[in-house]
Structure 1
Amino acid sequence: MKYTYYILLFYSISIFAQESVEAKFIDKTDLKAETLISVDNFGTQYYLKNDVIHKKTNVKTITYNNLQLGTLQSANAFNPLKINLFYKDFNTVIILDNRLAEIFKIDFNTLSPYKNVSHISTGHDNTIWVFNQDLQKLELFDYKTRTTRAQTVPVQSAVLDLTSNYNSCWLLTEDFLYVYNYFGSLLKKVKNNGYTALVESNENIILKKDHALFFMKRNKDEILPIITPNLLINQFFVTNETLYIYNSEILQQFQLKIN
């Protein structure tokens, strides 16, 4: 009987330990930017200021701007050799290399059939994921051949955010979080309980709800709260197991303790 009690106690403690993810404070840095894009493993910072993208290393800072395309809607530096910039007002994507030199321009207004794009994210090879507003479909678009390699079935609710890696894509809508492979096949969908933004790291997903962050481990459906100080979260992302939170003035780093 006593043996059974200890087994149950150990099992209860194990379950309790899985109910949240701890974020241990590492460091903080002053940073004045409108939007922080990412920080890589070498400490290189990518950020936006006055619609100009900055790449800041320990040695120097280089910039890129294309003011004729208006406001920069989003930027993605998942692949630092092919950085994606999305100018939604002009329905155009610019691809930059690691020196922030323009290597490709995709004007969706000139394509046939026309694509009305609301969100983009990095794909494998010479592809990007684009959400076609008119069709309500996610498409894997090859920007060199100007062809669609894969597409999903239409979604039924408004799109909030989109992220991807070379193998998978995560589409957050008001109703569900959808997960697709690079063939456009639906792997799973999870009910959205108020999440408004997401990022990906090593197939793990971090979600934002109000001023709190939540963690969904790869191949799992359970969503756990991340225990952080009460912070204003303007931007957030994860590199490996380092969580970055930015509040327009200070960039803070936390080590995620993932079991």
Structure 2
Amino acid sequence: MSYKLGLFFVLFQLASLFAQEQNIPAKQLASQQMDIDVFVGFDTTGDLYYIKNNVFYRKNDKELWQYKNVSLGKITKIDFQNQLKIMLYYENFNTIILLDNQLNETQKINFSENEFPILVAASGIASQNRLWIYNSLTQQIGLYDFLKNSFQSITPSLEGNVKYYESDFNTFRWIDDKMNGYAVDVFGKITTINKVRDFDQIQLISNQDVVFSKDGNLFFQDAKKNRIYSIENVDKSFKKFYYKDQILAIFTDQGITNYKITIP
């Protein structure tokens, strides 16, 4: 074997080793029994957000708030990153409801009544009194100003279908049906995110970091380092997980358990 060929073989083995799965141990913090249907997540103050009988709840140790609107059918999407402006999307009626921090309705937006046709397939809270909207009629992502009732597309028509998406104030991220990841900022600049593995559930933490589940197992993917980490010591009978600020919440039939994990 030549020196160059041998060196290549060694480097290939090292690259494969570093790309292999490694473990992240999870340390259990606290558990609470809760009879709920859908666990949505928790905010920076520790308040819990969930759905029971299609009623949306916000709960902490002292208070419980709720919002109910049976006329709009099933709640499809919830965005609570701004606790003063919480968004609920009702797909069956193409309608978004905005709530204050006590879950009082502040605005109702029926996109079927818009001057220009919009069929919402994805939505989220954006910056400066705007909403992220993916209009499935044009397959474009845009920003809807809910004070001016105006919509502006910021991307060309997307190729492929949106399999999963998430957003924050400044970025909309999505995964297409070929498992390719993308992100667009409020100025319309599109960035390619590394390809993700097949998943049952997934949470996009950033343009590089992903937490996902497959066949009852949890994983953390660092696309920048090209590494997959297996998250160990968590209940594998979970129905939903939610990660924020090194805390991993696991929702099972028995309730919610929080774990501390340290992301590499």
TM-score range, shorter chain: 0.7 to 0.9
> In structure 1, what is the Cα distance between the partners aligned to 2:110 and 2:59?
28
Which amino acid in the other structure matches residue 185 of structure 1? Answer: K
> In structure 2, what is the Cα distance between the partners aligned to 1:211 and 1:157?
28
Q: TM-score, with normalisation over the residues of structure 1?
A: 0.85
> In structure 2, what is the Cα distance between the partners aligned to 1:233 and 1:83?
26
* Structure 2, unpaired ranges of 5+: 1-10
> Contact between 2:199 and 2:213, CA under 8 Å: does it hold in 1?
yes
Structure 1 counterpart SS, 2:230: strand
Counterpart in 2 of 1:79? Answer: 82
Given the alignment, which residue of 236, 241, 250 partners 2:255?
250
Counterpart in 2 of 1:226? Answer: 230
> In structure 2, what is the Cα distance between the partners aligned to 1:135 and 1:193?
28
Residues 1-259 of structure 1 mapped to structure 2, 5 A cutoff: 15=18, 19-175=22-178, 176-201=180-205, 204-217=209-222, 220=224, 222-228=226-232, 229=234, 231-259=236-264
Deviation at 1:184, TM superposition (A): 2.4
> Contact between 1:167 and 1:181, CA under 8 Å: does it hold in 2?
yes
Q: Between Structure 1 and Structure 2, how many residues are aligned?
A: 248
Structure 1 counterpart SS, 2:112: helix
> In structure 2, what is the Cα distance between the partners aligned to 1:120 and 1:127?
10
> In structure 2, what is the Cα distance between the partners aligned to 1:150 and 1:183?
10
Deviation at 1:16, TM superposition (A): 8.1
Q: TM-score, with normalisation over the residues of structure 2?
A: 0.83
Deviation at 1:47, TM superposition (A): 0.6
> In structure 2, what is the Cα distance between the partners aligned to 1:83 and 1:153?
28
> Contact between 2:19 and 2:228, CA under 8 Å: does it hold in 1?
no
Deviation at 1:202, TM superposition (A): 6.3
* Structure 1, unpaired ranges of 5+: 1-7
Deviation at 1:89, TM superposition (A): 0.1
* TM-align CA RMSD: 2.6
Which amino acid in the other structure matches residue 184 of structure 1? Answer: G
